[in-house]
Amino acid sequence: MDLLNTLVEKGLRRELPSREEALAVLATSDDELLDVVAAAGKVRRQWFGRRVKLNYLVNLKSGLCPEDCSYCSQRLGSKAEILKYTWLKPDEASRAAAAGVAGGAKRVCLVASGRGPTDRDVERVSRTIGAIKEENADVEVCACLGLLSEGQAERLKAAGADAYNHNLNTSEATYGDITTTHTYADRVETVRHAQGAGLSACSGLIAGMGESDADLVDVVFGLRELDPDSVPVNFLIPFEGTPLADEWNLTPQRALRILAMVRFVCPDVEVRLAGGREVHLRTMQPLALHLVNSIFLGDYLTSEGQEGKADLDMIADAGFEVEGTDTTTLPGHRGGGCDSPCGSAPAPADGAEPAESAEPAVPDAASARTDLVTVRRRGAGTDLAPNA
């Protein structure tokens, strides 16, 4: 199909597709799904081969957040029965991180609930970064602590942090419907703080919150403009006890189309399959590896993922390989060590005709897989071994 051929050619040249082309990917039918995956897979392989980067989450402080993000089980007023605990000590966090590294993780993501860190929190996390690096010098450390104040990104960088994560989550136009205690602009500013300090920026989205195709395209184009090195794509985990508990809007097919659209818009960026993959992709997870080049290993912040060994088996069975610490993730033109051709600079959007808007298939209430939403009861903050 002409659309996919055009998108592959643009992706191989690192050209930005038009907004209409991105919308058209989301509007493709289930009958066209394998063609869409194959096309986006060509772009993925051009820039990342068959490598899969493994990331491991350590929840440093869980629950009791003063922000009101509707999707979050740690939000103000959440009735989700998640683990709640205050800051892990540096040695506790280092032990938790070591489990992920032993499982093959190349990056450890240190996350703490809250609006943003105090200076004392930054010092605490800095000590934790030092403890992790002392044990695993080659591991990448990404911090995710909320909104940053002036100078805090620089302090994290000086402590040894490699990256900072702060997701845009949804489009600017609908952001106020999801969160009222901070703004989309606040999030953009924090990503800019991280980039200004020399940290690798990690910023992504959450799909499945009731947004339109236009909202999805808007947030991905917003991310492209910010130009992070890594774009995590989360699929909403509808926790009981949160305002979005009844939002079951995704099918495996729609989730794959969303991932393909992100790959076409961000061809040479680390696209990470993040929270919710087990819940919404289910047995079609291996197909997603043809679109993304990065996943989380094991459990998430407040929910359990599939067993770490199952992740590794899935990668091997699908014909992919785990990326080692001796390999640079990003292609050469983004500061990595890849010798692939860099292509041309992004081109302006062309005059493609707008795609007809197709109503995505939405699961009915009876098919909602609430059984797959499992609250994390192991790992950080517990006495049980982590899943890695």
**Pairing of the two strands 294-296 and 163-165:** unpaired
Is 342 known to be catalytic?
Answer: no
Q: Residue 196 CB: number of other CB atoms within 10 A?
A: 12
Report the b/e string of 96-109 with b at 16+ CB within 10 A. bbbbbbebbbbbbb
CB 83 within 8 A of CB 381: yes
- Of the residues 44, 75, 107, 109, only one is catalytic, namely 109
Neighbours of 233 (CB within 10 A): 28
- Whether residue 40 contacts residue 260, with contact meaning beta carbons closer than 8 Å, is answered with yes
| List 44, 75, 202, 338, catalytic entry | 202
Backbone angles phi, psi at 147, to 5 degrees: -70, 130
In DSSP terms, which residues pair with 111 in a beta bridge?
A: 59, 144
If residue 294 lies in a helix (H) or strand (E), which one and from where to where? strand 294-296
Q: Is 338 a catalytic residue?
A: no
Exposed e or buried b per residue across 129-166, where buried means at least 16 C-beta atoms within 10 angstroms of its C-beta: bebbbeebeebbbbbbbbbbeeebbbbbbebebbbbbb
User: How many alpha carbons lie under 13 Å from residue 78 in its C-beta half-sphere?
Assistant: 28
Q: Which of 19, 142, 257, 376 is catalytic?
A: 142
Is 65 among the residues known to form the active site?
yes
Q: Which of 14, 19, 44, 65 is catalytic?
A: 65
Nearest one of 133, 149, 153, 152 to 141, comparing CA atoms: 133
**272, 277, 334, 376: the active-site residue:** 272
Residues 49, 327: contact at Cβ < 8 Å?
A: no
14, 19, 44, 72: the active-site residue: 72
Task: Supply the residues annotated as catalytic.
Answer: 65, 69, 72, 109, 142, 202, 272
